[in-house]
């Protein structure tokens, strides 16, 4: 379990992030067209999992915008923006913002994602949503970088994540 804060107040998340060097857990999430996507859909690509509580918050929206911009210049890399928001909200947000370089995914059919990746918030007002984290998975399915943001209302370390991609 990770000890985090939300606006300075303690909260916890389920488990811990996958260890660097470990095989990434399997996942099956829902795209904006309601189809499902998992690792096989991105075979041979590096994955940046941008995980966050909700698109309807300024920090989460900022992270999606930031990675959308960065993704345009990343070779052999797909950025997955993952939250508990419904696919319709993901679609609306990306259309309104003109975001085309990220893949938006919802965990609404897959609560095990948060447990398996150690990001489900288990206490506090955001209980049931996902904590803010970045997980990078290499083209062979191995975790190469992780960051769980300890204060949920802060942005992730974009520079460190992008440097981890080389």
Residues that are catalytic? 60
Q: How many CB atoms lie within 10 A of CB 105?
A: 27
Say if residues 136 and 144 touch (Cβ distance below 8 Å): yes
- 157-163 long-range contacts, CB within 8 A, separation 24+: 158/63, 158/66, 158/67, 158/70, 161/48, 161/134, 161/136, 162/70, 162/74
């Amino acid at each position: 379990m990770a000890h985090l804060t939300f606006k300075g107040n303690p909260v916890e998340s389920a488990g811990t992030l996958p260890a660097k060097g470990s095989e990434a857990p399997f996942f099956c999430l829902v795209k904006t067209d309601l189809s499902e996507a998992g690792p096989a859909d991105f075979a041979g690509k590096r994955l940046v999992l941008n995980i966050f509580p909700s698109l309807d918050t300024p920090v989460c929206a900022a992270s999606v915008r930031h990675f959308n911009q960065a993704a345009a210049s990343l070779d052999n890399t797909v950025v997955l923006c993952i939250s508990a928001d419904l696919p319709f909200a993901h679609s609306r947000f990306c259309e309104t913002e003109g975001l085309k370089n990220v893949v938006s995914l919802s965990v609404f059919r897959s609560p095990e994602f948060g447990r398996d990746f150690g990001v489900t918030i288990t206490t506090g007002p955001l209980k049931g949503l996902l904590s803010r984290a970045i997980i990078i998975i290499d083209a062979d399915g191995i975790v190469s970088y992780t960051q769980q943001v300890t204060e949920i209302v802060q942005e992730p370390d974009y520079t460190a994540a992008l440097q981890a991609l080389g």
